[in-house]
A and B are shown apart, each in its own frame.
Chain A
Amino acid sequence: MPDTQLREVRQPKAHDSAIKQITGEARYIDDQREPAGLLHCYPGKASIASGKVVAMDLSAVAAAPGVVSLIKVADIPGKNDCSPIFGDDPIISEGQITFHGQVIFAVLAETRDQARWAAQLAKVEYEEEKAFISVEQANSNDSTVLPDYQMGRGDVVVDLAKASNRLQGHLEIGGQDHFYLEGHVSMVEPGEDGDMLVHCSTQHPTEAQHQVADCLGVPHHAVEVRIRRMGGGFGGKESQSGQWACLAAIGAKMTGHPVKIRLDRDDDMILTGKRHEFEASYDVGFDNQGRIEAIDLTLLGRCGHSADLSGAICDRAMMHSDNAYFLPSVAIHSRRLRTHTVSNTAFRGFGGPQGVLSIERVMDHIASSLGIDALEVRKVNLYGDEGRNTTPYEMEVFDNIAPELIEQLEASSNYQNRRAEVVEFNRKNKYLKKGLSLTPVKFGISFTATHMNQAGALVHVYGDGSIGLNHGGTEMGQGLYVKVAQVVADSFGIDLERVKITSTTTAKVPNTSPTAASSGADLNGMAAKIAADEIRGRLAEFAAGLFQASKDDVRFENNEVVVGTERLDFTDLVKKAIFARVSLSSTGYYKTPEIQWDVATGTGKPFFYFAYGAAVSEVTIDCFTGEYKVDRVDILHDVGHSLNPAIDKGQIEGGFIQGMGWLTTEELKWDDKGRLRTHAPSTYKIPTATDTPDVFNVDLFKGDGNRAETIYRSKAVGEPPLMLGIAVFSALTNAVVNATGRMPKLNAPATPEAVLLALRDGDYLV
């Protein structure tokens, strides 16, 4: 459909639940009216990181007030596994403890407080074994969850030896807790025939359905997983929601009662995985302009105690360690390290951010070693024309708009003048130092596991002309539901308000992929359009018959059907169509074309296209304490032709702040016993309103739309903006370089402590 005929798509429509959210009417799982006889489940946790349970006395737990029953590993009727792929995540430990906090039993009680309090009363004896907590411990002991992996091209050893300049560096990259405001929650209602209706706050209803069915030993058809909305997901509810649904389902099966489980914030943080910590080591050769000639990069990923999604996450880190830059001779090594900590998982960017940050550090390092502005180094390294347009995994960067986008942002942010002002400020100031940085993002869109790039939708047209819309995508705040509804409304030429968005459920659309990899709108928007267009085709054919016209002459616009000079209200057409026995329900199915991946060679076209963006950050640091302030941020981001510019802007701003938080104040600390010490907002600090930049300019890149054939030529927007936050880390690095005159030892997150110690490392004392 040409843009001129779009009435809802491209409009800055409000989030589908905006009104309900601001009035408190939007219901999340824990807000649903509780069914009679509801029991509350709560997990009991291991208090060591590694070892065996020797004895477990649960008598005090069972005797506690309100306790109805206990769930032990032997009570699981089917498979004791809630892993997404590898079968290595027990729902309840079978005796071997692999991280501090691992579930060793669960309590069913009349109230949640009773269940929580009772779960503390277990007496457990352990035989402790050696625990690997840090990356270093795991790496030096070759403790891995999956085999090492390599990709690259050229003879890096030779090319490094030939390079005009060469340097080595190392960067530690911290993890990140999702800190979705709604923690994990599931409520399970048992039905007849052993069926289970599972309300689960999950980005992956199909996987939760499979896990619940498998742990109960029933067919998939016996389990329906339903989710209307989550209070945030960010990847944390992709593979790690199932465990809680399984525990509730097992409890429901045991007792015949409905069962709810909702983790306390601290337990949510202790019991569920986070963004992977990484350590990047590089050996890079470059010319006198800073143009990379060869690079050898090793990425160590801390996966935790099980594989979860770590294989694909570490792959994506490798595939993004080029970011927007051409690496002519390159070797990328990845290790997937096993530690005795919670199993790290998907988090917005899915390994990509760690890869991007690694190469951006290389850019900053090269610039400081040559004494030139890092933007110049970045620019000479960008992907370009033939010969400089293939990734390390041999995919052509066919849609490269990074040079143009960066040029526009450099101008609109007044970068060069501000660089001069920063130099002047730093000359005048001893105690405060400024840094400025522009960093780009290029992010590959598609699941790297090719088979996951598929989606289904179900559209019904009812007799009054209202539409029921369902698809496999889940709503976690990102605005997917309204975007897909906009697409469907335009298929029928009707107002958005006539499209009813219904809860995602495995009973309506089966075999779905998770809402992840930024792909929600690309996949489900297309599937819903296919379904809607199928019905529209039938209606067009019917209308053509009514008015003795050609099907191609039928137009749907302004809530009417127009055939030549004839006009008919959409509702009237629908009524007539039903009377004439026209089917007004259709599924839609979409799979992303063109993509493929060869695991053996580490080459292929894993991505349908790339999304681009760039950010300029200016920061000031306090050299007494390492505290800092983000003075100004300018962002230019590419969303193709936006489906909904308001929603997209919200994703960009929110993603940027979340990325900034990852690299600044959000610090995960484990002690040597493997206990997470930062397991609540009192100790784990995500950005507040005050941390946002004083000046914050965000614009959408005005280009020719997505060169790949996506839904109305839009681009995915969920993950890419997170990496814009790297501009803040790079600007902090720049501020320290400006103070000390050399590349500091500054790891991520750059907490005030890290910044002050970096200044001291560079011998800059107040």
Chain B
Amino acid sequence: MTSRSAIRFWFRGELQVIEDFQPTETVLDFLRLRQSACGTKEGCAEGDCGACTVAVVRPVGEELRIEAVNACIQFLGTLDGSVLFTVEDLKMEGDELHPVQAAMVKHHGSQCGFCTPGIVMSLFAQTHQNRPADRAELEDCLAGNLCRCTGYKPILDAGIDATAVATDTAEIYRETISEIHDEGELLAGDEGRFFAAPTCKSSLLKLVAEHPDATLFSGATDVGLWHTKLFRKLPKLIYLGRVKELLAIDESAHELRLGGAVSYERARGAFGALDSDIEELIRRLGSTQVRNAGTIGGNIANGSPIGDTPPILIALGASITLESIRGARTLPLEDFFIEYGKQDRAADEVLTEIIVPKLSHSQRFRCFKLAKRYDQDISSVMTGFCFTIEEGKIVESKLAFGGMAGTPKRATNTEAALRGKTLEEACSLVENLSSDFVPMDDHRASADYRMISAQNLLKKALIELSEEEKVATRLKPREAIHA
């Protein structure tokens, strides 16, 4: 297999071949500092405001995707094999405005204009769906683009107009991409400082074995901040986003297998199909930009006690596979989290696969995310509940929580208390959660609130599942969630 030492991508109609770059150089720094292409703005340098949004076209297997991503935390090396679009690229022939731009002007969608390039790019990516978007889709498309001036109304109106007339798909870039798409491994830099992007699992595992001190990453939605905010030196970066085995999604009648580098957005279809609550959770997780880049594997591997997907996966009984050149092992996800900041992963191991069993006929599932803000916020409390109900009684339950302890964790005492009880009986037992958890107390939520709302969310699930209760329990009903 061939190996390259320079990254290659398309920018402004020209092929960029770059050999000399810091592993942590961001796409935003490439644009603003190298290219003096200052249309793309830095608003927060942590992937939360979207002012730096750019669109990237990249192949994933046979599929060609156009994705809005946050340039501020996207490392330059991840652009290898892609086409990069920024706000300056959108004007069409003869200086005609792109439909998104024209609609933004018509609806007075910019005031101070600083968030505007990012908003334009998010809408630009959306127009490649080649169908009109409704308000809910546009709110979702823009959840990662903060605007402090307009109150969003004119921007949503512009999005409705623009997506009604735009007719592109990512396919139009296939020929361009094919010119630079190869299976070649990438290793830019030297032994002490490199950006590596292997393309198959065996070379990945070999590389990790040689450099157990390297940082593994996919979307950099977390690792990017180690660079921009925490001043951590990251001399050796290994990018997982080109390893084909890690990008696979396999579905059988009984389970779903997600490669370790499958993005949230790619997983959304199959994972969200397991239950509409999961679909809504994934929709609320981060933002479009974060979901395009970030992965469920990363959400697990970083060991955060407040990650959104681990409680769901634990409740579903998911397991993960860790591999190294020494071999592979599969373990229940809940055993992976040892304590705060400590996971059951050796330095040379890579999380290669997440195995999610599908729900059986007797299982009922609910998950809830609680945060200060509905969209694009980190959870105060995350819950995943799976009940096995037979003859009106709970024979087994998996009640997993985030934000309630140093790790994502099951409420084993409460699970025991619920065993053999009817749903109605169980409602009065939710206070058992106090014996399972001593929740954290921080700027997102007080310990009290976390405990009370965790109890109430369990009660909400039980009420919803009990046959008799048909009263409204949600601001956004389950029926209103669309995959």
- Tell me the A residues contacting B by CB distance below 8 Å: 12, 14-15, 17-28, 30-31, 33, 116-117, 120, 178-183, 229-234, 264-266, 428-432, 476-479, 620, 622, 624-629, 646-647, 649-650, 653-658, 665, 667, 669, 677-678, 680-683, 685-692, 696, 698, 751-753, 756-757, 760, 766
When the two chains form their complex, are residues A22 and B152 in contact, meaning their CB atoms are under 8 A apart?
no
When the two chains form their complex, are residues A22 and B101 in contact, meaning their CB atoms are under 8 A apart?
yes
Residue of A nearest to B22 (CB): A113
When the two chains form their complex, are residues A264 and B453 in contact, meaning their CB atoms are under 8 A apart?
no
Instruction: Given the known inter-chain contacts A23-B39, A665-B373, please indicate yes or no for A181 contacting B51, CB distance below 8 A.
Output: yes
Residue of B nearest to A269 (CB): B44
Residue of B nearest to A265 (CB): B44
Residue of B nearest to A620 (CB): B475
Is B252 engaged at the interface, CB distance under 8 Å to the other chain? no
Q: Name A181's contact: one of B43, B120, B374, B442 (CB within 8 Å).
A: B43
Instruction: Given the known inter-chain contacts A653-B151, A690-B374, please indicate yes or no for A181 contacting B49, CB distance below 8 A.
Output: yes
Is B143 engaged at the interface, CB distance under 8 Å to the other chain? yes
When the two chains form their complex, are residues B456 and A479 in contact, meaning their CB atoms are under 8 A apart?
no
Measured as residues with beta carbon below 8 angstroms from the partner, the interface class of chain B is 35 or more
When the two chains form their complex, are residues B374 and A21 in contact, meaning their CB atoms are under 8 A apart?
no
A23 to B375, CA, bound (A): 27
Is B376 engaged at the interface, CB distance under 8 Å to the other chain? yes
When the two chains form their complex, are residues B151 and A654 in contact, meaning their CB atoms are under 8 A apart?
yes
Instruction: Given the known inter-chain contacts A231-B41, A265-B45, A688-B373, please indicate yes or no for A15 contacting B152, CB distance below 8 A.
Output: no
When the two chains form their complex, are residues A624 and B443 in contact, meaning their CB atoms are under 8 A apart?
no
Residues B206-262 near A (CB distance < 8 A): 229, 231
Residues B342-377 near A (CB distance < 8 A): 368, 370, 372-377
Residues of A within 8 A of B149 (CB): 232, 477, 650, 654
Is B1 engaged at the interface, CB distance under 8 Å to the other chain? no
When the two chains form their complex, are residues A657 and B152 in contact, meaning their CB atoms are under 8 A apart?
yes
CB distance from A174 to the nearest CB of B (A): 12
When the two chains form their complex, are residues B87 and A24 in contact, meaning their CB atoms are under 8 A apart?
yes
Residues B133-178 near A (CB distance < 8 A): 138-140, 142-143, 145-156
Residue of B nearest to A18 (CB): B105
**B75-83, B315-323, B409-417, B466-474 - the one binding chain A:** B466-474
CB distance from A189 to the nearest CB of B (A): 18
A683 to B225, CA, bound (A): 14
A265 to B228, CA, bound (A): 11
Contact flags B457-483 to A (C-beta < 8 A → 1, else 0) = 101100100000001111110000000
When the two chains form their complex, are residues B155 and A431 in contact, meaning their CB atoms are under 8 A apart?
no
When the two chains form their complex, are residues A624 and B111 in contact, meaning their CB atoms are under 8 A apart?
no
Residues of B within 8 A of A231 (CB): 41, 112-114
A179 to B442, CA, bound (A): 22
Residue of B nearest to A28 (CB): B114
Residues of A within 8 A of B140 (CB): 690
Q: Report the tally of A-B residue pairs with Cβ distances under 8 A.
A: 257
Residue of A nearest to B448 (CB): A757
CB distance from B116 to the nearest CB of A (A): 5
Residues of B within 8 A of A650 (CB): 108, 111, 149-150, 154
Is B69 engaged at the interface, CB distance under 8 Å to the other chain? no
Residues of B within 8 A of A687 (CB): 151-152, 373
Cβ-closest 4 pairs across A and B: A24-B39, A477-B112, A231-B114, A21-B113
When the two chains form their complex, are residues B46 and A682 in contact, meaning their CB atoms are under 8 A apart?
yes
Residues of A within 8 A of B473 (CB): 431-432, 622, 624
Residues of A within 8 A of B139 (CB): 688-690, 692
- Tell me the B residues contacting A by CB distance below 8 Å: 32, 36, 38-46, 48-49, 51, 86-88, 90-91, 97, 100-101, 104-105, 108-117, 120, 138-140, 142-143, 145-156, 229, 231, 368, 370, 372-378, 380, 442-446, 448-449, 452-453, 456-457, 459-460, 463, 471-476
Residue of A nearest to B91 (CB): A23
Known: A18-B110, A477-B149. 17 other contacts (CB 8 A): A14-B108, A15-B110, A22-B97, A22-B117, A23-B88, A23-B90, A178-B148, A181-B115, A476-B112, A477-B113, A627-B374, A647-B108, A653-B151, A688-B375, A689-B143, A692-B156, A766-B456
Taking chain A's interface residues, is the majority helix, strand, or loop, or is none over half, making it mixed? loop
When the two chains form their complex, are residues A624 and B113 in contact, meaning their CB atoms are under 8 A apart?
no
When the two chains form their complex, are residues B108 and A33 in contact, meaning their CB atoms are under 8 A apart?
no
Residues of A within 8 A of B472 (CB): 429, 431-432
A253 to B41, CA, bound (A): 29
When the two chains form their complex, are residues A756 and B453 in contact, meaning their CB atoms are under 8 A apart?
yes
CB distance from A21 to the nearest CB of B (A): 3
Residues of B within 8 A of A12 (CB): 108
A626 to B456, CA, bound (A): 10
When the two chains form their complex, are residues A624 and B110 in contact, meaning their CB atoms are under 8 A apart?
no
Instruction: Given the known inter-chain contacts A626-B453, A688-B143, please indicate yes or no for A681 contacting B443, CB distance below 8 A.
Output: no
A658 to B149, CA, bound (A): 8
Residues of A within 8 A of B448 (CB): 757
Residue of B nearest to A626 (CB): B453
Sample 10 A-B pairs with CB under 8 A, ordered by A number. Answer: A21-B113, A116-B231, A120-B231, A180-B148, A181-B147, A625-B456, A650-B154, A681-B43, A682-B378, A753-B446
CB distance from B97 to the nearest CB of A (A): 7
A654 to B111, CA, bound (A): 10
A17 to B109, CA, bound (A): 11
When the two chains form their complex, are residues B373 and A691 in contact, meaning their CB atoms are under 8 A apart?
yes
CB distance from B145 to the nearest CB of A (A): 8
When the two chains form their complex, are residues B41 and A181 in contact, meaning their CB atoms are under 8 A apart?
yes
Q: Choose among B41, B156, B372 the residue with the greatest number of A CB atoms under 10 Å from its CB.
A: B372
A303 to B272, CA, bound (A): 48
Residues of B within 8 A of A116 (CB): 231
CB distance from B467 to the nearest CB of A (A): 17
When the two chains form their complex, are residues A680 and B110 in contact, meaning their CB atoms are under 8 A apart?
no
A688 to B457, CA, bound (A): 24
Residues of B within 8 A of A25 (CB): 39, 88
Instruction: Given the known inter-chain contacts A24-B87, A265-B45, A625-B370, please indicate yes or no for A15 contacting B108, CB distance below 8 A.
Output: yes
A230 to B117, CA, bound (A): 15
Residues of A within 8 A of B444 (CB): 683
Residues of B within 8 A of A692 (CB): 139, 151-153, 156
Residues of A within 8 A of B380 (CB): 753
Residue of A nearest to B49 (CB): A681
CB distance from B156 to the nearest CB of A (A): 6
A50 to B42, CA, bound (A): 32
When the two chains form their complex, are residues A33 and B36 in contact, meaning their CB atoms are under 8 A apart?
yes
When the two chains form their complex, are residues B108 and A646 in contact, meaning their CB atoms are under 8 A apart?
yes
When the two chains form their complex, are residues B155 and A689 in contact, meaning their CB atoms are under 8 A apart?
yes
When the two chains form their complex, are residues B48 and A682 in contact, meaning their CB atoms are under 8 A apart?
yes
CB distance from B86 to the nearest CB of A (A): 7
Residue of A nearest to B51 (CB): A181
A308 to B449, CA, bound (A): 36
Residues of A within 8 A of B44 (CB): 265, 680-681
Residue of B nearest to A752 (CB): B372
Q: Name A688's contact: one of B46, B146, B446 (CB within 8 Å).
A: B146
Residues of B within 8 A of A230 (CB): 112
A625 to B380, CA, bound (A): 11
When the two chains form their complex, are residues A265 and B46 in contact, meaning their CB atoms are under 8 A apart?
yes
A18 to B150, CA, bound (A): 13
Q: Name B471's contact: one of A430, A477, A689, A751 (CB within 8 Å).
A: A430
A678 to B377, CA, bound (A): 13
Residues of B within 8 A of A622 (CB): 473-475
A465 to B402, CA, bound (A): 67
A753 to B442, CA, bound (A): 12
CB distance from B457 to the nearest CB of A (A): 6
When the two chains form their complex, are residues A757 and B116 in contact, meaning their CB atoms are under 8 A apart?
no
Instruction: Given the known inter-chain contacts A23-B87, A181-B51, please indicate yes or no for A265 contacting B43, CB distance below 8 A.
Output: yes
A17 to B474, CA, bound (A): 43
A494 to B152, CA, bound (A): 33
Residues of B within 8 A of A683 (CB): 378, 443-444
Residues of B within 8 A of A15 (CB): 108, 110-111, 113
Residues of B within 8 A of A14 (CB): 105, 108
Instruction: Given the known inter-chain contacts A476-B112, A689-B142, please indicate yes or no for A624 contacting B449, CB distance below 8 A.
Output: no
CB distance from A564 to the nearest CB of B (A): 41
When the two chains form their complex, are residues B151 and A31 in contact, meaning their CB atoms are under 8 A apart?
no
